[in-house]
Amino acid sequence: MIELKITEAQKGSRPNISLPHRGIYEFLKEDGIRKLVSDHYDQIKNSSIRELFPPDDVIFEAAKKNSADFFVQIMGGPKHYENNRGAPMLVRRHNPFSITGDARKVWLGIYRELLPKLGMPDELLQSLWNYLDQFSIWMINSD
Ligand code: HEM
């Protein structure tokens, strides 16, 4: 069993990012990625970072879809995100929301629970985790 470690991080740090392993898309396929993001968002609703996200269910589901589109794209699938939303510019898109290091830990903690349940080979699991752990550091914009 591999250990998924949350790297300690502060606002302003911009670690280099390696894209997730191409095998993840082959393994999860588009449907599996959408389910993963959907499960993540549904758990956010019961978490302490709930108030960062849209209160309205319809808008919440739209936010979920945008995120899933991005994850499908970044893992090597169709470019739904680019087609629907344009260039990702995720740091800029997160700026309206106050994301602290603690909020990142909650966000990541939900993925840490979900990822091992996907049955992925360790190499893929580690690769996806590293991507989330590192790239989420970029989104911290508040102390
Ligand atoms: C550090 C923890 C993170 C928090 C607390 C967070 C929170 C949020 C919030 C509040 C939104 C806006 C929802 C809305 O009102 O539409 C959002 C959107 C989004 N997030 Fe994150 N996020 C985090 C990390 C990440 C990471 C690491 C990624 C990508 C790997 C990501 C991808 C996205 C995408 C694609 C959107 C949709 C942007 C759009 O097109 O509007 N987020 N996130």
User: Domain map of the chain by residue range?
Assistant: 31-138
- Residue closest via CA to ligand 1's atom 12 equals 53
Q: pTM value?
A: 0.96
Q: Which residues line ligand 1 (CB under 6 A)?
A: 49, 52-54, 63, 66-67, 70, 85, 90, 93-94, 97, 99, 103-104, 107, 132, 135-136, 139
Give residue-wise pLDDT tens across range 72-119: 999 999 999 999 999 999 999 999 999 999 999 999 999 999 999 999
Within a 10 A sphere around the Cβ of 58, how many other Cβ atoms? 7
| Contact by Cβ (8 Å): 137, 7 | yes
| CATH T-level fold of 31-138 | Globin-like (1.10.490)
- Taking the centre of ligand 1 as the mean of its atom positions, its distance from the CA of residue 74, in whole angstroms, is 14
- Taking the centre of ligand 1 as the mean of its atom positions, its distance from the CA of residue 8, in whole angstroms, is 19
Average pLDDT, rounded, for the chain: 97
| The dihedral sign for the CA sequence 44, 122, 25, 135 | positive
Within a 10 A sphere around the Cβ of 40, how many other Cβ atoms? 20
| Contact by Cβ (8 Å): 27, 124 | yes
Give the Cα separation of 116 and 80 in Å (integer). Answer: 26
- Taking the centre of ligand 1 as the mean of its atom positions, its distance from the CA of residue 99, in whole angstroms, is 10
Over residues 20-32, mean pLDDT: 98
